[in-house]
Structure 1
Amino acid sequence: MEENEDLANKKKHRERHSARWKGTLAVDRTLPTTLAVEKLKRRKAKKDSLNAESDGISAKQKNPKAFAFNSAIRAERRFRRKQDIETKKQHIPLVDRTPIEPPPVLVAVVGPPKVGKTTLIQNLIRLFTKTPLANIKGPVTIVMGKKRRVTFIECNNDINSMIDLAKVADLVLLLCDASFGFEMEIFEFLNICQVHGMPRIMGVLTHLDMIKNSKTLKTTKKTLKHRFWTEIYPGAKLFYLSGILHGEYLRNEIKNLGRFISVMKFRPLQWRSTHSYLLGDRLEDLTNQELIRRDPKCDRNVSLYGYVREYP
């Protein structure tokens, strides 16, 4: 009798809902899928009933802790980023005044004597044209892309050339002898640029191969970089040309510098927007040679080639 009572009290056997093997690799998944669908339906019905009971109360109002931020620092960064984006939208959009064929970007190579200005221009020309240019006389214009031409001008070591180039240069490559440091010509040119509207300036350190000690080289680079940042702005771009091999700078360093020049963008300067100017990069004498032979001081007919940059 006791055994019969124990059997009656035992729970009935429940069918398992997991998949079963049926002798092959195929698995019967129909039952679990049906149960999952029913479970989702019940959950959706419960959610709908809760939404109906809430009478317009949002989820954030029902459970405010679920929508609170975890980190105050992360929330502050997110807020700052949002404000920065909104502030950028409020800026006055720049009017694109560039014509169909814009004038070439003017790159001035500035620095003291014997710092490597001519060698740098020759290397950049060779990089983009695949042709060496041994003798440079005056400005050199090369094509860097479908819509970009670049004119390289070497600045002479006199105050008049510095003033002229500071007025018209879009980009300045400021060369410095790393083994000697910044010289007076560099500071003079920077003061001139501050008066005439500061163009984009990139520093280039040359003659690094003159410093043999690696620790001294590292210290010199760091010192000159921070001195350069003091004069321009913190984070200004500074390139290092390690040395000269077979009369040329290292190819990878020149390629890196040329890549920056080819993609750089320029914003209109306040000083230039109020001062129109004419830039002549080539001059031809059209006077009859016979007149010059008879009278070397006769009146000349001269043809100038260049660009007139006029602003309203």
Structure 2
Amino acid sequence: MSAVSFQHVSKSYKGPRGPFQALKDVSFDIEPGEFFGLLGPNGAGKTTLISILAGLSRATEGQVRVHGHDVVSDYARARRQLGVVPQELVFDPFFTVREALRIQSGYFGVKCNDDWIDELLANLGLADKANANMRQLSGGMKRRVLVAQALVHRPPVIVLDEPTAGVDVELRQTLWQFIARLNRQGHTVLLTTHYLEEAEALCHRIAMLKAGQVVALDRTSALLAGTASTMLSFKMDGELPASLDHARVTGRIVQITAHDAQEVEDILATLRIAGCKIEDLEIGRADLEDVFLEIMQADTSPSAFVTRPAGLEQVA
């Protein structure tokens, strides 16, 4: 049985300019114990899909299950299986951190939960803030509390919607160490993030959404191997030749992907013929960000980069 199953999920909204389709026939399964990444540009439908999973929104078509429980017809059992960390900072200003976690435990009927609450506080760097009012916390500390609230009832499925957006490096490291430990203990994790280096390091499999459709679905290693494998990085002043307008330029730093050695030679020859003076040339492997940009910029059908793993044996 899959930990999470999306089957032919579509979502349409009625707006002042007419209907808008946020999701179009999205289907994939997440296996128990898997660390799964859901990536896409802003507006791709990631948060809409998570809202349907969490019961905050209802799909126009399709079915979503959590450990076999339908999120609509069996919503109470489905929601007990989930711990969701939302993008927004949502908190009750009238309680301390410990009180907020005790109240959250009560929502799920969990009593005498202080031992686990203490462990959460320690692992998320909140031990010294346990008796602080929520209003006194910084934005990063509030986000840590949101993570603790999502985990307070020990859910088998953890959903992290942009959990490290706008937070410091210390929180990111602390959070990922703890979440990785929970994943090794058998918890399933669904992650959305714009920090693609996090997804590359953590996720067994990745689905990419574009305009509400799945345009890539495969193991992380397969996605990295299936597209441009080489990255040229260098510094230069002036304009690039028109034939290299697909390069990624950040200030003086230029990055260009290549598929093989011949393409590397062709790029360098183009630069030389154009009289471009380059500095600090490096040639390395392309990363998930390069793969993501290549897939998002490709004019492809939704199934072009999609594979369908048979089951848990596909999980790295």
What TM-score comes out, normalization by structure 1 length? 0.24
What TM-score comes out, normalization by structure 2 length? 0.24
The structure showing larger relative contact order (alpha-carbon pairs under 8 Å, at least 6 residues apart) is: 2
